[in-house]
Amino acid sequence: MSKLEPLLDSDLPEDLASVLRSAKADGPRDQTPAQARTLAAVAAHHAARSNAGNGRASSGMPFAKTMLSLVAACVAGAALFSAFGSDAPGGETSAPPSLPSAPSSSLPSPSLSTEGMRVDDLPSAPVEEAAPKAAPSVARRGGAVAELEDELALIDAARAALAAKHPETTLARVDAYHRRFRAGQFIEEADALEIQALAAIGRQEEATAKGQRFLAAHPGSAYQRRVKSALGLEVTP
């Protein structure tokens, strides 16, 4: 029950009672203790003055008007207080609403395994052994050098035998050279050594026949002087 109801039931002037009823209807539903005490004090003061005056209407009218003004001011203040102060009772200020936190732009990092992997645990790639390949040019060059050395060794042996007055051994070395190197680098020298060896052992006809073919096939050869000397031909300086 509102604290204004006992005041309305008391002996108040009709104008003041009407204002209180209006305050009760228009004022805030839940009055604070300060508001109720203010209105109660005004009503009690008026009731005391009314009882002391024994119903003097002439002196009560000005006081009633004053009370009406006070009550109206109280009602207006209570209404303003209710409108602007009811949202924060006890002088507490409401905290500003917190803004929603912006979503983090960073993506969650993938979880890493806490257990490390050793290098020995990694699978080993199969090792394919490549067949050794010699460069063709190197292989050919090596074979050519070896062949040239063998060819020169036979020619050196035939020279040494002719210089040692062993024409038969010279013919054997030259024959081995012709069988192995049919188009060798020292083919002219081998033919000249053969002609010289044939003439040295007295096989003059064979030496002359081979000598003529040699001079015709190799005009201006470096071995021309040796062949002519073996055949008994005139050697021009």
Is 95 within a domain?
no
* Terminal Cα-to-Cα distance of the chain (whole angstroms): 164
List, in order, residues 6 or more apart from 74 with CB less than 8 Å away. Answer: 23, 35, 38, 39, 42
In angstroms, what is the C-alpha Rg of the chain?
73
The tally of domains found in the chain comes to 2
Is 22 within a domain?
yes
Tell me which residue range forms the domain holding 71: 5-85
Is 132 within a domain?
no
What is the model's pTM?
Answer: 0.42
Residue 194 and residue 171: Cα distance in Å, rounded? 6
Going by pLDDT thresholds of 50, 70 and 90, the confidence category of residue 50 is: low
Range with the poorest average pLDDT among 100-104, 161-165, 202-206 = 100-104
Specify the pLDDT at position 229.
95
Residues 75 and 156 in one domain: no
- C-beta of residue 208 within 8 angstroms of C-beta of residue 195: no
Residues 76 and 144 in one domain: no
Is 17 within a domain?
yes
Residues 144 and 214 in one domain: yes
Specify the pLDDT at position 3.
46
Is 118 within a domain?
no
CATH number at residue 186: 1.25.40.10
Going by pLDDT thresholds of 50, 70 and 90, the confidence category of residue 235 is: confident
Residues 77 and 154 in one domain: no
Among candidate residues 173, 132, 166, 122, the one with its CA nearest the CA of residue 151 = 173
Q: What is the mean pLDDT of residues 74-102?
A: 50
Among candidate residues 150, 209, 148, the one with its CA nearest the CA of residue 176 = 150
pLDDT surpassing 50 at residue 87: no
